[in-house]
Amino acid sequence: MTEKKTFHSGFVTIIGRPNVGKSTLMNAMVGEKVAIISPKAQTTRNRIMGVLTGQGWQAVFMDTPGIHKPRTALGDTMMKAVDSALEDTEMILYVVDASDFREKDLEILQKYAKVSCKKILALNKIDLVEKQNLLALMEKLGAFVSDIVPVSALGGDGVAVLRDLIAENLPEGPQYFPDDYITDRQERFLIAEMIREKALMHLNQEIPHGIGVEIMGIKRAPSGVVHIDATIYCERDAHKNIIIGKHGAMIGRIGSQARPDIEKMLDARVNLKLWVKVVPDWRNRQSELKTLGYLDN
């Protein structure tokens, strides 16, 4: 009789301040773009799963919204998403931006110190800092975690080291998902996020925070083309004008940049139609939060 090898698995919740590179790191780990990325704070609004399966192990990453003081009902649901992801986790992966360390990072480390699970810290964006500053930071943060791994989620440095460390520390457990499974998020969610990402890329000041994307319809034509209608929510008429842009230039840019990403995911030609709708204060309205998928966090 051959001896049955034990399998190791667990949930790894990624937390940290906004904009430190949590989503970039999760994507780098799983090798697919599951979560959208932007230089604007509070890009991620939901708990997003990314699964990585190795030889005899499976890590189920949970990317979460950046921890901040919520000022809207949307912000409240985002912080609930962080707490619920931490409820049943085998490991916490803190992410700190090594080029922009703040007291808030320490507060987060202290706040979750009482959660009894393995804690690892990814010191991200090392491509932006001097080695000496990095060592000082590692010394300062060492007391809160069992391991610190310097990484560049963007460039890839240290990502394999971090992956191996996580794999080594997974407890015995079942294989939750099939080998090639990457995320539990549905196409509809991923398409909306791809559109929101391009909107975040091009819009500035307070507009990105007030953007939401609703997928109105996805229809596959017999020709193979997928027709998608999506509505971009914003909070003011002035924002709507900016999102549409002169002669539709801005919305055209958002659409033409989102389309190739969606086509790649669906492996089909896509006809994307975007609409803009003003819904004042939607971030505090339960019905809109529900429509946009923020209440099932």
- Residue closer to ligand GTP by CB (options 23, 183) is 23
- Residue closer to ligand GTP by CB (options 22, 283) is 22
Binding partner at 58 among Mg ion, ligand GTP, none, C-beta below 5 to 8 Å by kind: none
CA dihedral 13, 14, 16, 20 (to 10 degrees): -170
Please report whether residue 13 would count as binding ligand GTP according to CB under 6 A: no
- Terminal Cα-to-Cα distance of the chain (whole angstroms): 46
Q: Could you tell me the two tokens for 134?
A: 């990095």
x/- track of binding to ligand GTP for residues 129-168 (CB under 6 A): -----------------------xxx--------------
What is the smallest separation between the CB atom of 55 and Mg ion, expressed in angstroms? 29
Return the residue of 9, 13, 44, 297 that touches ligand GTP, per CB under 6 A: 44
**Any residues with CB less than 8 A from the CB of 213 and at least 6 apart, and which?**
192, 193, 195, 196, 199, 230, 231, 232, 233, 292
Binding partner at 21 among ligand GTP, Mg ion, none, C-beta below 5 to 8 Å by kind: ligand GTP
Please report whether residue 46 would count as binding Mg ion according to CB under 5 A: no
- Identity of the residue numbered 234: C
- Residue closer to ligand GTP by CB (options 17, 118) is 17
**Considering only CA atoms, which of 25, 35, 99, 111 is closest in space to residue 69?**
111
Q: Which part of the chain contacts ligand GTP (CB under 6 A), choosing from 5-13, 36-44, 105-113, 247-255?
A: 36-44
Please report whether residue 23 would count as binding Mg ion according to CB under 5 A: yes
8 Å CB contact between 9 and 59: yes
Please report whether residue 37 would count as binding ligand GTP according to CB under 6 A: yes
Please report whether residue 38 would count as binding ligand GTP according to CB under 6 A: yes
8 Å CB contact between 145 and 121: yes
Please report whether residue 53 would count as binding ligand GTP according to CB under 6 A: no
Q: Which part of the chain contacts ligand GTP (CB under 6 A), choosing from 14-22, 239-247, 249-257, 284-292?
A: 14-22
**Any residues with CB less than 8 A from the CB of 200 and at least 6 apart, and which?**
36, 38, 40, 43, 208, 211
Q: CB-based burial of residue 212 (10 Å sphere; 0-12 exposed, 13-18 middle, 19+ buried)?
A: buried
The side-by-side arrangement of strands in the sheet containing 226-234 is 212-220, 226-234, 270-278
Please report whether residue 44 would count as binding Mg ion according to CB under 5 A: yes
- Residue closer to ligand GTP by CB (options 75, 255) is 75
What is the contact surface with Mg ion in residues (CB under 5 A)? 22-23, 43-44
What is the contact surface with ligand GTP in residues (CB under 6 A)? 18-24, 37-39, 41-44, 65-66, 124-125, 127-128, 152-154
